[in-house]
Amino acid sequence: MITYKLFASGLPKDVEYTLWMRLVGANPQAVANAFINKDGLVVNAMSDPVHNVAEDPINLRLVAGRGEPKQFAVIANDGGYQVFGQVVPFPIEKTGGPCSISATMVGQNYSAVSIVVTGLQSKEEFQIDQRSGSEAGRAKATAAEDGTYRTLVFPFVKDQSSGKFKFGVTAKACAVGVEVPWGQGSYVIQ
């Protein structure tokens, strides 16, 4: 279990908020009433010394699988202000030379995986090698102007209930890849 404290900047402090949380494959749910203290910490209750009330920070205690994102929103009860955030407590990521690659679960049991590569050269053409279960492929791709590449992959293979998905990038200055389990039995709390 990992514990997080939430901080928000740029939001008014005299507004009542609700903390929302969204898990992969589920709709967002309201999880707590929230306020923003003078330091930007998201709290359940503001300090009120006159009434002997202590400030109560919201401590998010999370369990997660590898590459599983936890998404949050602090939304004013009147809808006037909103801020969103995400953490991946146990990231799936590798670094090779100037490049890094990460895989984030987007669908339950890794039925969809977001791949992000950083550190490529601007608009560089590079090679992608993929393998999922018994299927494999090779393709060319081009980095964005900022040297990133993003894609969404659906690793499931027909007539297979589970497997491993490998995604690798070979560029001018780096070669990097990740491996992600998918399907039945792939999701394991860390």
Quick: pLDDT tens for 64-79.
Answer: 999 999 999 999 999 9
Whole-number Å distance between alpha carbons of 44 and 57: 6
Confidence of residue 47 (pLDDT cuts 50, 70, 90): confident
| pTM of the model as a whole | 0.90
**Residue indicated by tokens 């002997």:** 52
- Are both 72 and 14 inside the same structural domain? yes
Q: Per DSSP, what are the bridge partners of residue 97?
A: none
- Kindly state whether residues 74 and 17 are assigned to the same domain: yes
Domain containing residue 12? 2-87
| Other CB atoms within 10 A of residue 159 CB | 6
Domain final position from 59, 87, 115: 87
Compute the average pLDDT of residues 115-135.
Answer: 97
Q: How many structural domains is the chain composed of?
A: 2
